[in-house]
């Protein structure tokens, strides 16, 4: 229990300057020119960040907080506590011990919680990388499409959001789906930069789990933080097992809480719905996955492929309450896109740096076409190869399908071979 008191006492726990310590001495002094008493307090801090002991003027500190002693009752001289009160005290003590990063100051002082992920993470985040984190912390249910330019650090931004949600105890079970070539990279980034361990789930790891824990063990039920490729998860038997475990967990809990907390989709443009015709297996897989997750975070450098129906379909999977799959956005939907989409280009970051009088962080691109000049012999060789391929195509007598294959073979093999010679 945290209580603001006017007079600190020796032996009380205190949180001053965002550090926890024990009050060792208290000395009363008179404020010059008034009859008001001030208190010179010596605090012995328990952490290793800074000086081990400091003497400060209590009334001049910004929102100092003291913690009343929560020691167990002395059963030899006092009557025992009521069981309900004892269990409540035990739970509160465990919560305080497990969450030292939660601010113990007066909630009315700050309107928004201060993020701790940039401090605890082994990253040097740029200012623009903190914008998605601030946006996510204001959302009761995180639904963001991070569409920053290539090289702006979307993985770092997602890691900051992930680490902050875990430290705030808002999430526990996390699934990251990504191309197979990026699984190890995601695992290493989360471990090295945020000290978050993830298990890679594939065919080999699933067989290993069965050997160690039995054939009934499922990685989707046993492992709390998982990285897998969406090409592996889209397989019918794997996807069916995932959905079955989600349903069993949801039915067993018999509550509104979903079986998974956070879904992170890397290269989300690969899972866009089709503009016409049937959707791909990846798009259908994403449609089956998203209802089992409370929070969703999509990452892509190319959020729009030129078709509004595809883009709106991706937004529908991200936030089905606000968006529906449509070939044309209404004015209201266009305004809501800014609530879930974060997209910055390197040119925009450079412009902000120039406006603020700072050195631009990214190089400026200069696109200039380079003329190509061929020698006389090279032009003659290219014309000869083109004429040979045209003559061979005219001699082919086959069905259109076979003719297309033969034309491709002639253009590739004879053309490349002639140029090589």
* The two three-digit tokens of residue 293, written as one number: 């997750």
CA distance 13 to 255: 39
Report d(CA 152, CA 129) in Å as an integer: 8
Give the Å distances, CA to CA, from 362 to 124, 148, 152, 183, 354.
Answer: 16, 14, 10, 27, 11
Nearest 5 degrees, angle CA 264-CA 153-CA 351? 130
Q: What does the pLDDT average to over 66-83?
A: 68
Residue 227 has pLDDT above 90, yes or no: yes
* Structural element, H or E, at residue 133: helix 131-137
Please report which helix (H) or strand (E) contains residue 122, including its range: none
Q: DSSP secondary-structure letter at 279?
A: P
Could you give the 3-state DSSP secondary structure of residue 380?
A: helix
Report the chain's terminal Cα–Cα distance, integer Å.
Answer: 85
Q: How many residues does the chain have?
A: 421
pLDDT of 231 > 90? The answer is yes
Task: Please give the mean pLDDT across all residues of the chain.
Answer: 83
pLDDT in tens, 179-210: 999 999 999 999 999 999 999 999 999 999 99
Please give the pLDDT value at position 92: 77
Helical packing angle, 308-318 and 331-340, nearest 10° = 60
pLDDT of 103: 47
**DSSP 8-state secondary structure symbol assigned to residue 217:** -
Summarize pLDDT for 330-384 with one digit per residue, the tens.
Answer: 888 888 999 999 999 888 888 888 888 888 888 887 778 888 888 989 989 988 8
Query: What percentage of the chain has pLDDT greater than the value 70?
Result: 84
* Structural contact between residues 13 and 66, judged by C-beta atoms closer than 8 angstroms: yes
Is the domain 117-355 a CATH 3.40.50.300 member?
Answer: no
Tell me phi and psi for residue 207, to 5 degrees: -65, -40
Distance CA 347, CA 358 (A): 14
Specify the 3-state DSSP secondary structure of 45.
Answer: strand
Position 288 confidence tier, pLDDT thresholds 50, 70, 90: very high
Contact call for residues 212 and 205 (beta carbons, < 8 A): no
Strand ranges (DSSP E) for 126-196? 143-146, 174-178
Which residues in 372-405 are b (16+ Cβ under 10 Å) and which e? Answer: eeeeeeeeeeeeebeeebeeeeeeeeeeeeeeee
Q: Report the distance separating Cα 232 and Cα 180, nearest Å.
A: 8
Q: How many CB atoms lie within 10 A of CB 363?
A: 8
* 126 C-beta neighbours (distance < 10 Å), count: 14
Contacting residues for 199 by C-beta, under 8 A, at least 6 apart: 205, 219, 223, 225, 226, 227
Q: Is this model's pTM higher than 0.95 or not? A: no
- The neighbouring-strand residues paired with 23 are 43
Q: By the 8 A CB rule, do 163 and 120 touch?
A: yes
Average pLDDT over residues 277-287: 92
Per-residue pLDDT averaged across 211-237, rounded? 91
In which band, very low, low, confident or very high, does the pLDDT at 277 lie, cut at 50, 70 and 90?
Answer: confident
Q: What does the alpha-carbon distance between residue 291 and residue 274 come to, in Å, rounded to a whole number?
A: 20
Which residue in this structure is represented by tokens 């623009």?
128
The better pLDDT of the pair 74, 182 is held by 182
Cβ(29)–Cβ(37) below 8 Å: yes
**Residue extents of the structural domains in the chain:** 2-71+81-98, 117-355, 376-420
């Amino acid at each position: 229990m945290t209580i603001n008191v006017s007079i600190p006492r020796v032996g009380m726990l205190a949180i001053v300057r965002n550090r926890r310590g024990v009050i060792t001495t208290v000395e009363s002094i008179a404020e010059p020119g008034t009859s008001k008493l001030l208190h010179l307090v010596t605090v012995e801090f328990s952490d290793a960040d800074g000086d081990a002991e400091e003497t400060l003027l209590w009334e001049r500190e910004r929102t100092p907080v003291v913690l009343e002693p929560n020691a167990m009752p002395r059963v030899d001289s006092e009557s025992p506590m009521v069981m309900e009160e004892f269990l409540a005290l035990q739970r509160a003590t465990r919560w305080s011990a497990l969450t030292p990063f939660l601010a113990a100051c007066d909630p009315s002082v700050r309107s928004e919680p201060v993020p701790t992920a940039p401090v605890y993470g082994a990253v040097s985040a740029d200012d623009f990388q903190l914008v998605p984190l601030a946006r996510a912390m204001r959302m009761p249910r995180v639904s963001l499409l991070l569409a920053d330019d290539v090289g702006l650090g979307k993985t770092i931004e997602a890691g900051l959001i992930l680490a902050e949600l875990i430290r705030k105890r808002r999430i526990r079970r996390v699934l990251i789906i990504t191309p197979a070539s990026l699984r190890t990279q995601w695992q290493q980034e989360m471990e090295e930069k945020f000290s978050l361990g993830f298990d890679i789930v594939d065919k080999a790891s699933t067989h290993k789990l069965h050997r160690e824990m039995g054939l009934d063990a499922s990685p989707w039920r046993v492992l709390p933080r998982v990285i897998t490729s969406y090409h592996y998860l889209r397989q019918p038997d794997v996807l069916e097992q995932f959905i079955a475990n989600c349903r069993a967990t949801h039915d067993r809990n018999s509550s509104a809480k979903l079986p998974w907390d956070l879904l992170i989709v890397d290269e989300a443009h690969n899972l866009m719905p089709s503009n016409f015709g049937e959707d791909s297996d990846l798009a259908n897989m994403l449609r089956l996955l998203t209802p089992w997750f409370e929070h969703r975070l999509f990452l892509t450098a190319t959020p729009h492929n030129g078709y509004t129906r595809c883009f709106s379909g991706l937004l529908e999977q991200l936030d089905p309450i606000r968006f529906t799959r449509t070939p044309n956005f209404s004015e209201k939907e266009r305004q809501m896109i800014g609530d879930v989409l974060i997209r910055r280009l390197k040119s925009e970051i450079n412009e902000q740096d120039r406006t603020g009088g700072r050195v631009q962080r990214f190089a400026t691109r200069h696109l200039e076409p380079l003329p190509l000049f061929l020698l006389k012999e090279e032009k003659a060789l290219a014309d000869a190869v083109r004429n040979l391929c045209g003559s061979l195509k005219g001699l082919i007598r086959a069905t259109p399908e076979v003719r297309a294959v033969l034309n491709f073979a002639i253009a590739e093999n004879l053309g490349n071979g002639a140029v090589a010679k």
